[in-house]
Amino acid sequence: MQTHKLGPLTVRRVVAPGPTAENQSDKRGAEAPMVLVLAHGFGASGDDLVGLAGALDVPPGTVMVFPEALHGLRELTGQAAFGDARAWWLIDFTRLELALATGQARDLSGDVPEGLADARAAFGEMLDALAKEVPTERLVLGGFSQGSMLAVDVVLRQPERRVSGLVVLSGTLLAEREWAPLMGARRAADGRALPVFQSHGRSDAILPFASAERLRDGLAGAGFDVTFDPFAGPHTIPEPTMRRLGAWLRALA
């Protein structure tokens, strides 16, 4: 694993074994390796998703990039207890605690979080820097929870960026008024309906399953090719989901 800066973000990079793992910068077009960028969720460290590199059965030579979120929660909040936890943007802790305490569904579809635009800009700069080092003709963007919401936002708001797939692990619908009109305009890098892999736990208390269904239905209704993977569990990435995600990624190759 390599840890280094790409634009404004620190990233971890892992290359899967295979024939395209060598001389990646020389391979373009059909020979280019898949590049999988996965952003971690709120409150996690920059290493949080790196374990997926060994758990996912990705195409040989896949370049896996795990960006570290823009903000350290300890610095943002002044609370040392957060340690190395990071966030792409701050959330409303009071609202989350109330939802967890009362069992109320937490609907974020009307929210346009303060800090989302900054996170999107930093993520885009990171991708631009990555493209100077590795060919990104076969770019798949995604993440877990807050990281997956950021990936959706980048895909929708940066239509000029060539993307071959989108991975939404335990994400939810944000900024519906802004996202909805953008969904219909987004196609894959090759002009097809953009493939999406979306998973969500039916007992997710953090981001309700019903909101994930709304995101799924919005994307599918706008012409995205959505593979939906519901599972009986909470806010997590279970092993069967990792198997199905690996198969989906191999099918894109």
What percentage of the chain has pLDDT greater than the value 90?
Answer: 75
pLDDT digits (tens, 9 = 90+) for 22-47: 455 555 555 789 999 999 999 999 99
Looking at mean pLDDT, say which of 93-97, 106-110, 156-160 comes out highest.
156-160
State the DSSP H helix or E strand holding residue 71, giving kind and residue range, or none if neither: strand 71-72
Distance of CA 230 to the CA centre of its chain: 17
| pLDDT above 90 (res 146) | yes
Taking alpha carbons only, the member of 12, 4, 56 closest to residue 253 is 56
| pLDDT above 70 (res 100) | no
Query: Collapsing DSSP states into helix, strand and coil, what is residue 113?
Result: coil
Residue 108: the pLDDT is 87
| pLDDT above 80 (res 97) | no
Residues 6+ positions from 245 with CB-CB distance below 8 Å: 56, 167, 169, 197, 199, 229
Q: Taking all residues of the chain, what is their mean pLDDT, rounded to a whole number? A: 91
pLDDT band at 81 (very low <50, low <70, confident <90, very high): confident
pLDDT band at 21 (very low <50, low <70, confident <90, very high): very low
54-68, 143-157, 182-196: range with lowest mean pLDDT? 182-196
Tell me the mean pLDDT in the region 69-97.
85
Instruction: Give the chain's count of helices (H) and strands (E).
Output: 8, 10
Pairwise CA distance, residues 121 & 26, whole Å: 28
Superfamily grouping for domain 2-252? Alpha/Beta hydrolase fold, catalytic domain (3.40.50.1820)
Tell me the mean pLDDT in the region 121-134.
97
Question: Between residues 219 and 75, which one has the greater pLDDT?
Answer: 219
Q: Where are the alpha helices (DSSP H) in the chain?
A: 52-55, 73-77, 93-102, 116-131, 146-157, 176-183, 209-221, 239-252
| pLDDT above 80 (res 189) | no
Residue 135: the pLDDT is 92
Pairwise CA distance, residues 188 & 140, whole Å: 10
pLDDT digits (tens, 9 = 90+) for 223-253: 999 999 999 999 999 999 999 999 999 999 8
Residue 27: the pLDDT is 56
Which string of DSSP letters, residue by residue, matches 32-65?
SPPEEEEE--TTB-TTTTTTHHHHS-PPTT-EEE
pLDDT band at 194 (very low <50, low <70, confident <90, very high): very high
| pLDDT above 60 (res 168) | yes
Question: Between residues 222 and 78, which one has the greater pLDDT?
Answer: 222
Question: Between residues 35 and 82, which one has the greater pLDDT?
Answer: 35
